[in-house]
Amino acid sequence: MSQPAKKQAEGYKPSIVPMALKVIAGGLRYKERLSAISKNLGGNEKMSAHLDQQRPTLIHYVRDVKLSAEWYRDNLGFEIGPHEYGAFAEMHLAGNYIFHLVPARGQVTPHPSSIFAFASLDIEMTYATLQARGVSVEPIEWYPDYSIFTFRDLDGNAVSINQNFEIRMKELEPMHVVGYRLTLPEGVDRIAIIQETARRLRNRVTEINGALDPFFMIGAYLPSQRDYWVGVQVNQIDRIPDGMEVVTLPSQRYAVKWHYGLRSDVQQTYERMNELLEQAGIPLNHQAWQVEMTRNWGSKAEEDELEMDLYLAIE
């Protein structure tokens, strides 16, 4: 005999929701959210995929997790995390998580392009350290405001090391410069005179024998004198064109900073150099030649902006 249905107490809520109701409720929520997102996309609201903003996990697939983890530890100073040599290894640097090493499924094909680009505090020291460890490294490439080199990890993948900098140190070998010698007394418009002389030199640069790079102008001066040289570097002292002279700059160690912009703003770049050198405790050599190397010189473009390396002699 069937029992009569029990009357539920007022306000009763079941502790277990039937699966069918869950599915229906979930479907309703999905449709509501889809409708809201579609409506927002039609307006000006910023798109969001509702991702967690924590740092994403970076996975590097290798043949042997243990050997690769030890390679990165021994050659680059990484620390192996607490889950070492299981299904994966966590690699840390100075206590901070960097990436995972995970065993590859199937054959590992080395990546020709860099899988990692690590920043260095001293790229030349990093380079020397890897060489001392027997790691095969490519030559360092120097650019106006950063440098970079690559090497291969245990699986043959390319890895790059780079360093950004405001200022760098460079040793210049002796160089012969052929061009015009200017005398710039106080009160004259130095910028206008140098630009005009650069244009004259550009028109006659084909007359200079042995120019190493005729599109790279060298400006040089001694702080104690009023003369300023505008010329190009030559590989040997040969016939000097009429009206020009030759000067030999001796070897000297320099602080170098890249300037890109108006020539009238060069002084601001020099002031920044002096600030950085003073902070680093590096004294200037005021008795040595100061050098400016300009790329787009002697053209109309120079009146708007130019690219040049500023060399301040240091002790």
pLDDT at 42: 60
The radius of gyration of the chain's CA atoms, rounded to the nearest angstrom, is: 33
pTM of this prediction?
A: 0.65
17 falls within a domain: no
The arithmetic mean of pLDDT across residues 132-146, rounded, is: 92
Q: Which residue has the higher pLDDT, 186 or 314?
A: 314
Shared-domain flag, residues 204 and 249: yes
pLDDT at res. 29: 61
In a domain, 199, yes or no: yes
Residues 70 and 143 in one domain: yes
Q: Which pLDDT does position 87 carry in this prediction?
A: 84
d(CA 75, CA 77): 6
302 in the same domain as 178: yes
H-helix or E-strand spanning residue 307: strand 306-313
Same domain, 160 and 214: no
The torsion of the CA quartet 269, 273, 274, 278, rounded to 10 degrees, works out to: 150
* 146 and 178 together in one domain: no
Q: Mark whether 79 and 211 lie in a shared domain.
A: no
Q: What's the pLDDT score for residue 214?
A: 87
In this structure, what CATH number is given to the domain that contains residue 100? Answer: 3.10.180.10
Which domain CATH number covers 216? 3.20.80.10
**Rounded mean pLDDT, 281-288:** 96
Looking at the structure, tell me whether residues 89 and 199 fall in a common domain.
no
Do 96 and 158 lie in one domain? The reply is yes
* 36: in domain: no
User: In which band, very low, low, confident or very high, does the pLDDT at 111 lie, cut at 50, 70 and 90?
Assistant: confident
Query: What percent of the chain stands above pLDDT 70?
Result: 81
Does 3 reside within a domain?
no
Q: What is the pLDDT of residue 215?
A: 84
Q: Is the pLDDT of residue 289 over 90?
A: yes
Of 26 and 294, the one with more pLDDT: 294
Q: Has residue 5 got a pLDDT over 60?
A: no
Pull the structure tokens for residue 193: 């005179």
- What is the extent of the structural domain holding 127? 59-165
Identify which has the larger pLDDT, 11 or 212: 212
The answer to whether residue 220 sits within a structural domain is yes
**Count of domains in the chain?**
2
Are 154 and 237 in the same domain? no
pLDDT of residue 22: 47
pLDDT over threshold 60, residue 223: yes
Is residue 227 assigned to a domain? yes
Residue pLDDT, tens place only, 56-81: 789 999 999 999 999 999 999 999 98
Which of 144, 165, 186 terminates a domain? The answer is 165
The pLDDT confidence band at residue 27, using thresholds 50, 70 and 90, is: low
Dihedrals φ, ψ of 26, to 5°? -60, -40
Last residue of a domain, one of 165, 186, 203: 165
DSSP string spanning 207-224?
GSTTBS-TT-EEEEE-TT
Q: Residue 259 falls within a domain, yes or no?
A: yes
Question: What 3-state class would DSSP assign to 251?
Answer: coil
Map tokens 């702080």 to a residue.
223
Same domain membership, residue 231 and residue 151: no
Among 165, 200, 232, residue at a domain's last position: 165
Residues 297 and 184 in one domain: yes
Same domain, 113 and 211: no
